[in-house]
Structure 1
Amino acid sequence: MKSTTPAASPAPTSARAPRADARRNYEALLAAAKVVFARSGVDAPMEEVARRAGVGQGTLYRHFPTREHVFVALLGERVDLLDRTARELLEAPDPWQSLVGWLRLYDQSATEYRGMSTRVAEGLADDASPVAAACAPMKAGFGALFDRARDAGVVRSDISALQVLTMISALPKDPERGTTIELYLDIVLKGLRP
């Protein structure tokens, strides 16, 4: 007997997996951006990223319409690590040590590329930014850690989690390494105490 059930229609074009060559180009662009940004900072010419990936600028801009889109793609791994770490530290017994440990990891993650921490700080302050959307899980995780520390009385009650992230991102950087100068980070951390 013949079935009267209509045949399944093909998946819409937008739901299909990207073609193999498109996926390769995407991965090549991300790998190139990591190298170029590590060498020249996040303000490096996008043409240099395309050239290093071995693709044309049209391919670059099809995958990443703006520099911010490249930056957001590179942030993904860092955001996942920071979110996962925040959830783990919520179970740790000492709220202050958990907060400090997470903020040091945040600072280290945000200084991987010269200029990165400034971009993160600007993105966190602008809710419409793709950076803010990409960092939302990390911000939520830190917010929970921060609230826990404040509830335990080990953090000042007159500051917010976002203010702390912005301060850490804005700290002076070592010009040779691009990392935060440790003395400044220590001063901010001590200033969080009530």
Structure 2
Amino acid sequence: MRSDALSNRMRILEAAAEVLAVPGDTSMKSIARRAGVGQGTLYRHFPTRESLVLQVYGAEVDDLVTAVPALLGTLTPQEGLCAWLRRLLYLGRCMPEFADAMSVAGEASTGQCRKVYRPLLDALSVLVSANAAAGTIAPGTTAEDVFTLLGPVWRIGADGEEGVRAERLFEVLMRGLCPQAEAGPEVSSTRRGSR
């Protein structure tokens, strides 16, 4: 990639992180304006809003993907799955643009969105397989099933009574997936906080 193109890409990602961090206009037009580039330039680098959003949250995705071996090395498969899903749920509820982008990415068959979604799906598949091998997950459950079930809980707010409700629904989800699972620890990773 040419240096000017790389510079534009970095400016777009920085601008998107700033725009997504505050309520208000988070449109692609607003991001392009803040980055100081035309919309054509923005769309050349990120053909869809979802591909841009998933790149902005790339570090969080990497944290989730790389956490799996440590979780399975220190926790039971049930606890590891619960901890990983809690972290994913935290991201989706605190960063709704991430949750929306993940929903679209799950339906895409190609493109930049799929490149981010696929590693998450693979990481979750490892956790689901570990539970299947241990006999601690509902038979026939797939990683795609789990993502689908988690989706509605992502739509619940992160604060106050909504946060309590989301936690309750997550516990119901875990009891259905892994009847013996209890509330597990959260994934230990460096949190960058809300954007």
Q: So what's the TM-score if we normalise by structure 1?
A: 0.77
Where does structure 1 lack aligned partners over 5 or more consecutive residues? 1-16
The answer for the alignment partner of 1:103 in structure 2 is 85
The answer for the alignment partner of 1:18 in structure 2 is 2
Q: CA deviation at 1:33?
A: 0.8
* In 2: Cα distance, 1:97 partner to 1:28 partner: 39
The answer for the alignment partner of 1:145 in structure 2 is 127
* In 2: Cα distance, 1:66 partner to 1:95 partner: 36
* In 1: Cα distance, 2:47 partner to 2:142 partner: 33
Q: CA deviation at 1:132?
A: 2.6
* In 2: Cα distance, 1:176 partner to 1:89 partner: 27
Contact 1:107/1:168 (CA < 8 Å) preserved in 2?
yes
The answer for the alignment partner of 2:167 in structure 1 is 182
Alignment of 1:122 onto 2:122:
no
Q: CA deviation at 1:139?
A: 1.3
Alignment of 1:57 onto 2:42:
no
* In 1: Cα distance, 2:29 partner to 2:124 partner: 35
Alignment of 1:36 onto 2:19:
yes
* In 1: Cα distance, 2:136 partner to 2:14 partner: 41
Aligned AA (1:183)? R
* In 2: Cα distance, 1:126 partner to 1:65 partner: 13
| Bigger-Rg structure (1/2) | 1
* In 2: Cα distance, 1:95 partner to 1:104 partner: 14
Can you list the C-alpha shifts for 1:99-123, whole angstroms capped at 9, x where unaligned?
Answer: 1001111112233422421331232
- Higher deviation after alignment, 23-32 or 60-69: 60-69
Q: How many residues align?
A: 176
**What RMSD, in angstroms, separates the aligned Cα atoms of the two structures?**
2.6
Q: So what's the TM-score if we normalise by structure 2?
A: 0.77
Contact 1:89/1:145 (CA < 8 Å) preserved in 2?
no
Q: CA deviation at 1:176?
A: 6.3
Contact 1:37/1:44 (CA < 8 Å) preserved in 2?
yes
- Higher deviation after alignment, 176-185 or 112-121: 176-185
The answer for the alignment partner of 1:136 in structure 2 is 118
Q: Determine helix, strand or coil for the equivalent of 1:91.
A: helix
* In 2: Cα distance, 1:62 partner to 1:115 partner: 21
